[in-house]
Amino acid sequence: MQIKPLIMGNQSVENNVFLAPMAGYTDFAFRTVALKLGYGLTFTELVSAKGLVYKGQGSVDLLKSDNKNKTSVQLFGSQPEFIKAACESEELKDFKFVDINMGCPVPKVFKNGEGSALLTDIIKAEKVVKAAVSSGKTISVKIRTGQKYGDDVATEFTKMAENSGASLVTIHARVREAYYSGEPDYNAVEKAKKAVKIPVIANGGIKSVKDANLMIDKTGADGVMLARGAIENPLLVCEILGKKSPLTLKEFIFSQLDLLSTQEGEERSAVLFRKFISYYLKGLAGIKEFKLKLCTATNVQEIKDILSNIF
């Protein structure tokens, strides 16, 4: 794929390889280290617009960032007034970019009429996007191709987003019921891309340079967004960008652990890190014993000692 800067409204980003918002994974520590690898833009975990307006500490904590110029806040919500108020809040004043989530498939979010549920109501979705745009922030929208297999609302919603003032749309090339697996719907993304003038980013199933190239070749998208592929191989972004990584995997992990511990403390960091273990060690042989030790480690230094025996 061609690496290039992207124009988003009156803002620009350095390149067209983005890091997806992933609840529980793209926290402050992971995003901060990931930015050192060269992403054009990263996204926070999903932040409740209503939670932010009411200044819920959990929502505010998700905004922690060392580089707000390269971080987009991903909001979820279905009430335009809360979306606008969140965008205009004091907590978001230093962020240039806000992304509206219309793709989350999780039942708790969906049943509340938020996330991918908005794909069933384009009128409400339009009001949400217009409310966000009216705040003056540079707004992007993340959608899926539909609710169930056979659906394709990507073109309709991408056009709506553009007409409502959004500066970019990311399409997760799967329907809600597919969650995070299955073949991407390249055709749906291609049709949506051809229907608008704003940049379209393609997301879904990109775990290698080959996958990234295939996605661009088949869809004509303006760039790619890495999700689970970036967790399985944090250095993948450098491979796609065609540059040498400034960090080894060990250095990436140790930096992540150090940052995590400054925010969460040693013991909690050890627990939070466990969800990354199977991703980081995927494909390595003879490490079952080390995995067990990592899953019972009680502090960051203990984790580092175990990992030093692996790497």
Catalytic annotation, residues = 104
> 3-state DSSP: the chain helix, strand, coil percent, rounded to 5?
45, 15, 35
Question: If you search the block for the tokens 């609302």, which residue do you land on?
Answer: 153
Which 3-state string (H, E, C) describes 104-144?
Answer: CCCHHHHCCCCHHHHHHCHHHHHHHHHHHHCCCCEEEEEEE
Own/partner pairs, 254-261, CB within 8 angstroms, 24+ separation: 254/304, 254/307, 255/33, 255/36, 256/29, 256/30, 256/33, 257/29, 257/300, 257/303, 257/304, 258/300, 259/28, 259/29, 259/32, 259/33, 260/27, 260/29, 260/300, 261/300
Please spell the DSSP secondary structure of 136-188, one letter per residue: TSEEEEEEEEESSTT---HHHHHHHHHHTT-SEEEEEEEEGGGTT-S---HHH
Token representation of residue 233: 């191989």
Work out the burial of residue 288: count CB atoms within 10 Å of its CB; fewer than 13 is exposed, 13-18 middle, 19 or more buried: exposed
The rounded distance, in Å, linking the Cα atoms of 311 and 298 is 20
Distances (CA, A) of 211 to 34, 129, 243, 306, 308: 20, 30, 17, 32, 31
